[in-house]
Homo-oligomer: A and B are copies of this chain.
Amino acid sequence: MEAQFKLLLQEWREEIHARLRHLVDEQEPSLLYEPIQYVLEGGGKRIRPVLLLLACRAVSGSVKKAWEAAIAIELLHNFTLVHDDIMDDDDTRRGRLTVHKKWAPDVAILAGDGLLALSYRILFRTHSDRFHDIANIFNEGVITVCEGQALDLAFESQETVSPDEYLEMIKKKTAGLLNISARIGAIIGGGSEDEVAAMGKFADNLGCAFQIQDDLLDITSDEQTLGKTFGSDVQQKKQTYLVIHALSHADSAGRVRLAEILSDSNTGEIEIREVRALFQKAGSLDAAKAAVSQFLASAQSNLDTLRKTPERSALFELVSYISTRNA
Protein backbone atom coordinates (compact mmCIF):
# COMPACT_ATOMS: atom_id res chain seq x y z
CA MET A 1 0.00 0.00 0.00
CA GLU A 2 2.62 2.49 0.93
CA ALA A 3 4.41 2.24 -2.41
CA GLN A 4 1.08 2.41 -4.25
CA PHE A 5 0.06 5.45 -2.21
CA LYS A 6 3.33 7.20 -2.94
CA LEU A 7 2.84 6.54 -6.63
CA LEU A 8 -0.67 7.98 -6.55
CA LEU A 9 0.53 11.03 -4.64
CA GLN A 10 3.35 11.43 -7.13
CA GLU A 11 0.95 11.25 -10.08
CA TRP A 12 -1.41 13.77 -8.56
CA ARG A 13 1.44 16.11 -7.63
CA GLU A 14 2.67 16.07 -11.21
CA GLU A 15 -0.81 16.87 -12.48
CA ILE A 16 -1.18 19.68 -9.91
CA HIS A 17 2.20 21.05 -10.85
CA ALA A 18 1.42 20.93 -14.58
CA ARG A 19 -1.88 22.71 -14.09
CA LEU A 20 -0.34 25.40 -11.93
CA ARG A 21 2.65 25.79 -14.23
CA HIS A 22 0.54 26.98 -17.13
CA LEU A 23 -2.09 28.91 -15.25
CA VAL A 24 -0.77 32.43 -15.86
CA ASP A 25 1.87 31.68 -18.52
CA GLU A 26 3.13 34.93 -20.00
CA GLN A 27 0.04 36.90 -19.05
CA GLU A 28 0.22 40.67 -18.75
CA PRO A 29 0.86 42.85 -16.81
CA SER A 30 4.11 41.11 -15.98
CA LEU A 31 4.53 42.89 -12.65
CA LEU A 32 1.46 40.96 -11.48
CA TYR A 33 1.86 37.63 -13.24
CA GLU A 34 5.63 37.06 -13.09
CA PRO A 35 5.71 36.92 -9.30
CA ILE A 36 2.61 34.68 -9.35
CA GLN A 37 4.26 32.40 -11.91
CA TYR A 38 7.41 32.36 -9.75
CA VAL A 39 5.38 31.26 -6.71
CA LEU A 40 3.53 28.56 -8.63
CA GLU A 41 6.77 27.14 -10.03
CA GLY A 42 8.19 26.95 -6.53
CA GLY A 43 6.86 23.51 -5.83
CA GLY A 44 5.68 22.52 -2.40
CA LYS A 45 4.17 19.44 -0.87
CA ARG A 46 0.68 20.02 -2.30
CA ILE A 47 -0.83 18.52 0.85
CA ARG A 48 -4.09 20.46 0.56
CA PRO A 49 -5.08 19.56 -3.01
CA VAL A 50 -4.00 15.97 -2.38
CA LEU A 51 -6.18 15.89 0.74
CA LEU A 52 -9.09 17.29 -1.26
CA LEU A 53 -8.73 14.63 -3.95
CA LEU A 54 -8.36 11.85 -1.38
CA ALA A 55 -11.43 13.07 0.53
CA CYS A 56 -13.38 12.99 -2.71
CA ARG A 57 -12.35 9.41 -3.41
CA ALA A 58 -12.80 8.33 0.22
CA VAL A 59 -16.55 8.92 -0.15
CA SER A 60 -16.52 7.03 -3.47
CA GLY A 61 -16.49 10.15 -5.64
CA SER A 62 -14.59 10.64 -8.88
CA VAL A 63 -11.69 13.08 -8.72
CA LYS A 64 -12.56 14.27 -12.21
CA LYS A 65 -14.95 16.87 -10.83
CA ALA A 66 -12.58 17.83 -8.00
CA TRP A 67 -9.59 19.13 -9.95
CA GLU A 68 -10.68 22.76 -10.14
CA ALA A 69 -11.30 22.90 -6.39
CA ALA A 70 -7.95 21.17 -5.76
CA ILE A 71 -6.08 23.75 -7.81
CA ALA A 72 -8.08 26.55 -6.20
CA ILE A 73 -7.10 25.40 -2.73
CA GLU A 74 -3.42 25.31 -3.67
CA LEU A 75 -3.66 28.86 -5.05
CA LEU A 76 -5.38 29.94 -1.86
CA HIS A 77 -2.59 28.33 0.18
CA ASN A 78 0.03 30.16 -1.86
CA PHE A 79 -1.80 33.46 -1.31
CA THR A 80 -1.41 32.92 2.45
CA LEU A 81 2.28 32.05 2.08
CA VAL A 82 3.11 35.18 0.08
CA HIS A 83 1.36 37.53 2.52
CA ASP A 84 2.62 35.67 5.61
CA ASP A 85 6.17 35.87 4.32
CA ILE A 86 5.87 39.67 4.13
CA MET A 87 4.50 39.84 7.67
CA ASP A 88 7.18 37.49 9.02
CA ASP A 89 9.80 39.13 6.82
CA ASP A 90 11.11 35.71 5.86
CA ASP A 91 13.96 35.71 3.34
CA THR A 92 13.47 32.31 1.79
CA ARG A 93 10.65 29.86 1.08
CA ARG A 94 11.07 26.43 -0.47
CA GLY A 95 14.78 27.18 -0.86
CA ARG A 96 14.23 30.34 -2.92
CA LEU A 97 13.88 34.03 -2.18
CA THR A 98 10.45 35.07 -1.00
CA VAL A 99 8.45 37.33 -3.35
CA HIS A 100 8.89 40.49 -1.30
CA LYS A 101 12.65 39.90 -1.17
CA LYS A 102 13.02 39.06 -4.86
CA TRP A 103 10.76 41.96 -5.91
CA ALA A 104 9.40 44.29 -3.24
CA PRO A 105 6.73 44.22 -0.51
CA ASP A 106 4.29 46.14 -2.76
CA VAL A 107 4.66 43.57 -5.50
CA ALA A 108 4.19 40.76 -3.00
CA ILE A 109 1.01 42.31 -1.57
CA LEU A 110 -0.37 42.49 -5.09
CA ALA A 111 0.80 39.01 -6.08
CA GLY A 112 -0.94 37.63 -3.00
CA ASP A 113 -4.14 39.49 -3.87
CA GLY A 114 -3.90 38.14 -7.40
CA LEU A 115 -3.40 34.56 -6.18
CA LEU A 116 -6.48 34.88 -3.98
CA ALA A 117 -8.58 36.22 -6.85
CA LEU A 118 -7.30 33.46 -9.17
CA SER A 119 -8.21 30.85 -6.57
CA TYR A 120 -11.85 31.94 -6.72
CA ARG A 121 -11.75 32.01 -10.51
CA ILE A 122 -10.68 28.37 -10.66
CA LEU A 123 -13.03 27.31 -7.85
CA PHE A 124 -15.98 28.84 -9.71
CA ARG A 125 -15.31 26.43 -12.59
CA THR A 126 -16.35 23.51 -10.37
CA HIS A 127 -19.39 21.67 -11.69
CA SER A 128 -21.51 20.63 -8.77
CA ASP A 129 -25.13 20.95 -7.76
CA ARG A 130 -23.74 22.04 -4.40
CA PHE A 131 -21.77 24.90 -5.94
CA HIS A 132 -23.20 27.45 -3.52
CA ASP A 133 -22.16 25.37 -0.47
CA ILE A 134 -18.70 24.85 -1.90
CA ALA A 135 -18.22 28.56 -2.57
CA ASN A 136 -19.38 29.39 0.97
CA ILE A 137 -17.12 26.85 2.65
CA PHE A 138 -14.15 27.97 0.56
CA ASN A 139 -14.78 31.58 1.49
CA GLU A 140 -15.26 30.83 5.18
CA GLY A 141 -11.87 29.12 4.97
CA VAL A 142 -10.30 32.34 3.72
CA ILE A 143 -11.83 34.27 6.62
CA THR A 144 -10.73 31.61 9.13
CA VAL A 145 -7.16 31.77 7.87
CA CYS A 146 -7.15 35.59 8.15
CA GLU A 147 -8.40 35.26 11.74
CA GLY A 148 -5.68 32.73 12.51
CA GLN A 149 -3.01 34.96 11.05
CA ALA A 150 -4.33 37.92 13.10
CA LEU A 151 -4.08 35.83 16.28
CA ASP A 152 -0.53 34.81 15.37
CA LEU A 153 0.37 38.44 14.76
CA ALA A 154 -1.26 39.54 18.02
CA PHE A 155 0.70 36.90 19.96
CA GLU A 156 3.95 38.63 19.01
CA SER A 157 3.12 41.59 21.24
CA GLN A 158 1.25 39.56 23.87
CA GLU A 159 3.26 38.76 27.00
CA THR A 160 1.90 35.29 27.66
CA VAL A 161 -0.10 33.00 25.43
CA SER A 162 -2.04 30.12 26.94
CA PRO A 163 -1.97 26.64 25.38
CA ASP A 164 -5.67 27.08 24.52
CA GLU A 165 -5.04 30.37 22.73
CA TYR A 166 -2.22 28.72 20.82
CA LEU A 167 -4.45 25.81 19.81
CA GLU A 168 -7.21 28.17 18.64
CA MET A 169 -4.65 30.00 16.53
CA ILE A 170 -3.21 26.92 14.80
CA LYS A 171 -6.68 25.42 14.33
CA LYS A 172 -7.56 28.53 12.33
CA LYS A 173 -4.27 29.38 10.71
CA THR A 174 -2.98 25.94 9.77
CA ALA A 175 -5.92 23.57 10.06
CA GLY A 176 -8.32 26.05 8.41
CA LEU A 177 -7.35 25.29 4.83
CA LEU A 178 -6.93 21.56 5.47
CA ASN A 179 -10.44 21.54 6.94
CA ILE A 180 -12.04 23.12 3.87
CA SER A 181 -9.93 20.95 1.54
CA ALA A 182 -11.25 17.81 3.16
CA ARG A 183 -14.86 19.00 3.37
CA ILE A 184 -15.00 20.38 -0.17
CA GLY A 185 -13.44 17.15 -1.47
CA ALA A 186 -16.03 15.09 0.38
CA ILE A 187 -18.89 17.28 -0.88
CA ILE A 188 -17.76 17.07 -4.50
CA GLY A 189 -17.42 13.33 -4.04
CA GLY A 190 -21.06 13.16 -2.96
CA GLY A 191 -20.37 12.35 0.69
CA SER A 192 -23.08 12.32 3.36
CA GLU A 193 -23.26 15.05 5.99
CA ASP A 194 -21.63 12.71 8.53
CA GLU A 195 -18.83 11.90 6.15
CA VAL A 196 -18.20 15.58 5.38
CA ALA A 197 -18.15 16.39 9.12
CA ALA A 198 -15.80 13.49 9.87
CA MET A 199 -13.44 14.63 7.13
CA GLY A 200 -13.46 18.14 8.61
CA LYS A 201 -12.54 16.88 12.08
CA PHE A 202 -9.89 14.63 10.61
CA ALA A 203 -8.36 17.64 8.85
CA ASP A 204 -8.48 19.77 12.00
CA ASN A 205 -6.50 17.18 13.92
CA LEU A 206 -4.14 16.65 11.01
CA GLY A 207 -3.59 20.41 10.82
CA CYS A 208 -2.79 20.79 14.49
CA ALA A 209 -0.30 17.91 14.27
CA PHE A 210 1.16 19.49 11.15
CA GLN A 211 1.68 22.88 12.82
CA ILE A 212 3.28 21.54 16.00
CA GLN A 213 5.54 19.43 13.77
CA ASP A 214 6.36 22.64 11.91
CA ASP A 215 7.25 24.38 15.17
CA LEU A 216 9.54 21.45 15.95
CA LEU A 217 11.19 21.35 12.53
CA ASP A 218 11.89 25.07 12.59
CA ILE A 219 14.28 24.56 15.46
CA THR A 220 15.48 20.97 14.98
CA SER A 221 15.99 20.87 11.21
CA ASP A 222 18.72 22.65 9.31
CA GLU A 223 18.21 25.36 6.71
CA GLN A 224 18.98 23.21 3.69
CA THR A 225 16.48 20.49 4.56
CA LEU A 226 13.88 23.04 5.58
CA GLY A 227 14.16 25.28 2.51
CA LYS A 228 13.57 28.28 4.73
CA THR A 229 15.37 30.20 7.44
CA PHE A 230 16.46 28.00 10.38
CA GLY A 231 15.14 29.18 13.73
CA SER A 232 13.03 31.86 12.12
CA ASP A 233 10.30 31.38 14.74
CA VAL A 234 12.76 32.38 17.49
CA GLN A 235 14.02 35.31 15.46
CA GLN A 236 10.45 36.50 14.98
CA LYS A 237 9.58 35.96 18.65
CA LYS A 238 6.81 33.61 17.62
CA GLN A 239 4.73 32.01 20.34
CA THR A 240 5.18 28.40 19.26
CA TYR A 241 4.13 25.23 21.03
CA LEU A 242 7.72 24.94 22.26
CA VAL A 243 7.95 28.47 23.66
CA ILE A 244 4.62 28.19 25.45
CA HIS A 245 5.60 24.82 26.93
CA ALA A 246 9.10 25.92 27.95
CA LEU A 247 7.88 29.14 29.57
CA SER A 248 5.90 27.07 32.05
CA HIS A 249 8.12 23.97 32.29
CA ALA A 250 11.74 25.17 32.22
CA ASP A 251 13.57 25.85 35.49
CA SER A 252 13.48 29.47 36.61
CA ALA A 253 16.89 30.32 35.12
CA GLY A 254 15.74 28.81 31.83
CA ARG A 255 12.51 30.80 31.80
CA VAL A 256 14.32 34.05 32.48
CA ARG A 257 16.87 33.36 29.77
CA LEU A 258 14.19 32.35 27.23
CA ALA A 259 12.18 35.50 27.92
CA GLU A 260 15.39 37.49 27.58
CA ILE A 261 16.26 36.03 24.19
CA LEU A 262 12.68 36.46 22.97
CA SER A 263 12.66 40.14 23.89
CA ASP A 264 16.09 40.83 22.40
CA SER A 265 15.88 42.41 18.97
CA ASN A 266 19.10 40.83 17.78
CA THR A 267 18.88 37.04 17.74
CA GLY A 268 21.58 35.11 15.91
CA GLU A 269 22.44 31.44 15.40
CA ILE A 270 24.12 31.20 18.81
CA GLU A 271 20.94 32.23 20.61
CA ILE A 272 18.83 29.92 18.46
CA ARG A 273 21.03 26.97 19.41
CA GLU A 274 20.80 28.05 23.03
CA VAL A 275 17.01 28.09 22.79
CA ARG A 276 17.07 24.62 21.27
CA ALA A 277 19.13 23.28 24.20
CA LEU A 278 16.74 25.01 26.58
CA PHE A 279 13.70 23.39 24.92
CA GLN A 280 15.46 20.03 25.15
CA LYS A 281 16.20 20.43 28.86
CA ALA A 282 12.65 21.60 29.67
CA GLY A 283 11.19 18.55 27.93
CA SER A 284 9.47 20.79 25.39
CA LEU A 285 10.73 18.89 22.36
CA ASP A 286 9.39 15.63 23.80
CA ALA A 287 6.12 17.28 24.76
CA ALA A 288 5.70 18.60 21.23
CA LYS A 289 6.40 15.17 19.76
CA ALA A 290 3.82 13.67 22.11
CA ALA A 291 1.26 16.31 21.09
CA VAL A 292 1.86 15.57 17.42
CA SER A 293 1.28 11.86 18.07
CA GLN A 294 -1.88 12.58 19.99
CA PHE A 295 -3.39 14.75 17.26
CA LEU A 296 -2.49 12.17 14.65
CA ALA A 297 -4.15 9.44 16.72
CA SER A 298 -7.31 11.56 16.95
CA ALA A 299 -7.15 12.15 13.21
CA GLN A 300 -6.99 8.42 12.63
CA SER A 301 -9.96 7.78 14.85
CA ASN A 302 -11.98 10.42 12.94
CA LEU A 303 -11.67 8.18 9.92
CA ASP A 304 -13.50 5.32 11.64
CA THR A 305 -16.88 6.58 10.40
CA LEU A 306 -15.73 6.29 6.80
CA ARG A 307 -16.25 3.09 4.85
CA LYS A 308 -13.15 0.87 4.64
CA THR A 309 -11.76 1.74 1.24
CA PRO A 310 -8.29 2.00 -0.26
CA GLU A 311 -8.72 5.78 -0.03
CA ARG A 312 -9.37 5.61 3.69
CA SER A 313 -6.11 3.72 3.96
CA ALA A 314 -4.50 6.43 1.87
CA LEU A 315 -5.72 9.05 4.34
CA PHE A 316 -4.12 6.97 7.10
CA GLU A 317 -0.96 7.07 5.03
CA LEU A 318 -1.22 10.86 4.87
CA VAL A 319 -1.14 10.83 8.65
CA SER A 320 2.02 8.78 8.79
CA TYR A 321 3.52 10.87 5.99
CA ILE A 322 3.11 13.97 8.14
CA SER A 323 4.49 12.29 11.24
CA THR A 324 7.69 11.34 9.43
CA ARG A 325 8.23 14.45 7.30
CA ASN A 326 11.37 16.40 7.90
CA ALA A 327 10.76 19.53 5.86
Assembly CA distance A140 to B118 (angstroms): 9
Interface with B: A60-68, A107-115, A199-207, A224-232, which one?
A107-115
Is the beta-carbon distance between A29 and B142 smaller than 8 angstroms? no
A135 close to B (CB within 8 Å): yes
Residues of B within 8 A of A86 (CB): 105-106, 109
Is the beta-carbon distance between A107 and B153 smaller than 8 angstroms? yes
DSSP class of A's interface residues: helix, strand, loop or mixed?
A: helix
A31 close to B (CB within 8 Å): yes
Is the beta-carbon distance between A151 and B29 smaller than 8 angstroms? yes
Is the beta-carbon distance between B143 and A132 smaller than 8 angstroms? no
Is the beta-carbon distance between B143 and A121 smaller than 8 angstroms? yes
A305 close to B (CB within 8 Å): no
- Jot down 28 A-B pairs with beta carbons below 8 A, ordered by A: A28-B147, A29-B150, A29-B151, A30-B154, A31-B150, A31-B153, A32-B146, A32-B149, A83-B109, A83-B113, A86-B106, A87-B106, A105-B105, A106-B153, A109-B112, A110-B146, A110-B149, A110-B150, A113-B113, A113-B116, A113-B142, A114-B146, A114-B150, A117-B146, A120-B135, A120-B142, A124-B135, A124-B139
Residues of B within 8 A of A112 (CB): 109, 113
Is the beta-carbon distance between B117 and A139 smaller than 8 angstroms? yes
* Residues in A112-139 with C-beta less than 8 Å from chain B: 112-114, 116-118, 120-121, 124, 131-132, 135-136, 139
